Structure 1
Amino acid sequence: MNRGNACALALVFTFLSLPVAAHPHSFISMRSETITANGQFTALKMRWTMDEITSADLLYDAGNAKPGDEIWKKLAAEVMANVLGQHYFTEVWHNGQKVKFMNRPSEYQLAREGHKAVLTFILPLAEPQPLSGQTYTVSTFDPTYFVDMHYDGEGDVTFAGNNPSHCTLALQTPKPNEKMTAYALSLDKADAPPEDMDLGKQFAQKVILQCPSS
């Protein structure tokens, strides 16, 4: 890939060991929890589980380190720095406007689960957003589609704790047309789609947060 902003995750997870193949080259399975307080949408808690090939170099560097060891903190900080450089690879939209995030997560952690690396972090909104009568759309994706970032099902999109505002969460999975799908499949590891194409967005799932009026 030849654009710095397009290969942040590739640099983080060291995809050099991957074979040349069609897009995407790596897969991250996600879970998210919507955090609310006092009738407001305040943050998202994200959990990203990387596939085994993507995880291999991170886990190699961690060696036999136990949870809480300094190497995990170091690796987590390196991964998180790249994620922050891409605005968490996440967009939140409300009434046609992007909702801004805080510059840093309130907490983050990298851990091992079997042969996979798992990154968890809390993504705080810059300002709490009202819930009553409002609808928010959340998408998380790599713009180049070099990395497939996906939810496996509705159960991976939940509220953190109780949901006093009686809001609902729905997961929408797009169905790109055959031409778009064929184009993605035609790209090999060295290719990058045009920046204005925003290829990853064409395949990005949407989490719809909808709340009734009080």
Structure 2
Amino acid sequence: MKRYGLLLLMFWVCLPVQAHPHSWISMKTKIVGSDGYITKLSMAWQMDPMTSAYALDGEDVSPAKIKKTLDALAYEAVSNMYQQHYLTQMLVGNKSIDFVKTSKGHYRLDGAKLTLMFDLTLQHPIPLSSSDIRLQVYEPTYYVDMEWQKASDVSLSEQLAKQCKTTLVQPHPTAKQISYAASIPIDVTGDPDLGNLFAQTIKLDCH
């Protein structure tokens, strides 16, 4: 197995372009909570076909072995993302909330696309009475574009839906920042703060 590169989002895929990003993730996120607190995030991240093919290259995907293969790949992907805060920032004001360390997750193969599914439990549940609750998910170097394609890709658990609403805020990088990202060669990782400039934000308003 590819021990390096099983961090889901760090594949060096040889695409025929000379610009960031080089890989694309379509996300769905469910924000979970009860008893007046936000407690967990349930993630489903679908990779583009080329990145999915690279992830499975050389792996045993025969009918008899594919479940074992996907389980092993998911374990390593989620485990490795711990060092990057799972590429996820759950924020209250300027404070980022930590997640309980996990390696649990699973891959689903839908045609040519892999989807990684996993849960992140907050170490300290967020009271719904908190102000300025936000969620961002991004890869810091913008090697990978991570996107909720529509507002409904972010949902709330039943209890949270009674008290909260979400707003999807799109990023507004400048023309200069867009040009800079486009100028980074394919074999250069790039600026570790670049991803934040292109990151969407989910705002939660609760009462």
* TM-score, reference length from structure 2: 0.88
Residue 138 of structure 2 corresponds to residue 141 of structure 1: yes
State the percentage of identical aligned residues: 33
Match of 1:3 in 2: none
Q: Counterpart of 1:86 in 2: which secondary structure?
A: helix
Give how far 1:50 is off: 0.1
Match of 1:27 in 2: 24
Q: Counterpart of 1:139 in 2: which secondary structure?
A: strand
Match of 2:91 in 1: 93
RMSD value, Cα: 2.3
Match of 1:45 in 2: 42
5+ unaligned residues in a row in structure 2: which ranges? Answer: none
| Cα distance between partner residues in 2 of 1:74 and 1:145 | 26
Match of 2:51 in 1: 54
Decide whether the 8 Å contact of 2:81 with 2:87 is kept in 1.
Answer: yes
Match of 2:81 in 1: 83
| Cα distance between partner residues in 1 of 2:171 and 2:187 | 26
Q: Deviations over 1:74-109 (max 9, x none)?
A: 11112112222211101111022111111116x411
Decide whether the 8 Å contact of 1:65 with 1:71 is kept in 2.
Answer: no
Decide whether the 8 Å contact of 2:142 with 2:195 is kept in 1.
Answer: yes
5+ unaligned residues in a row in structure 1: which ranges? Answer: 1-6
Decide whether the 8 Å contact of 1:165 with 1:211 is kept in 2.
Answer: no
Decide whether the 8 Å contact of 1:141 with 1:204 is kept in 2.
Answer: yes
Q: What is the aligned counterpart of 1:202 among 192, 197, 200?
A: 197
User: Per the alignment, do residues 68 and 34 of structure 1 end up closer, same or farther by CA in structure 2, a change over 3 Å counting?
Assistant: farther
Equivalent residues, number:
203
Comparing 81-90 with 60-69, which one deviates more in the overlay? 60-69
User: Per the alignment, do residues 59 and 133 of structure 1 end up closer, same or farther by CA in structure 2, a change over 3 Å counting?
Assistant: same
Residue 144 of structure 2 corresponds to residue 166 of structure 1: no
* TM-score, reference length from structure 1: 0.86
Give how far 1:166 is off: 1.4
Q: Counterpart of 1:44 in 2: which secondary structure?
A: strand
User: Per the alignment, do residues 208 and 113 of structure 1 end up closer, same or farther by CA in structure 2, a change over 3 Å counting?
Assistant: same
One-letter amino acid of the counterpart of residue 193, structure 1: G
Decide whether the 8 Å contact of 2:88 with 2:137 is kept in 1.
Answer: yes
Return the structure number with greater helix share: 1
User: Per the alignment, do residues 12 and 192 of structure 1 end up closer, same or farther by CA in structure 2, a change over 3 Å counting?
Assistant: closer
Match of 1:129 in 2: 126
Q: Counterpart of 1:158 in 2: which secondary structure?
A: strand
One-letter amino acid of the counterpart of residue 210, structure 1: D
Q: What is the aligned counterpart of 2:68 among 67, 70, 77?
A: 70
User: Per the alignment, do residues 186 and 164 of structure 1 end up closer, same or farther by CA in structure 2, a change over 3 Å counting?
Assistant: closer
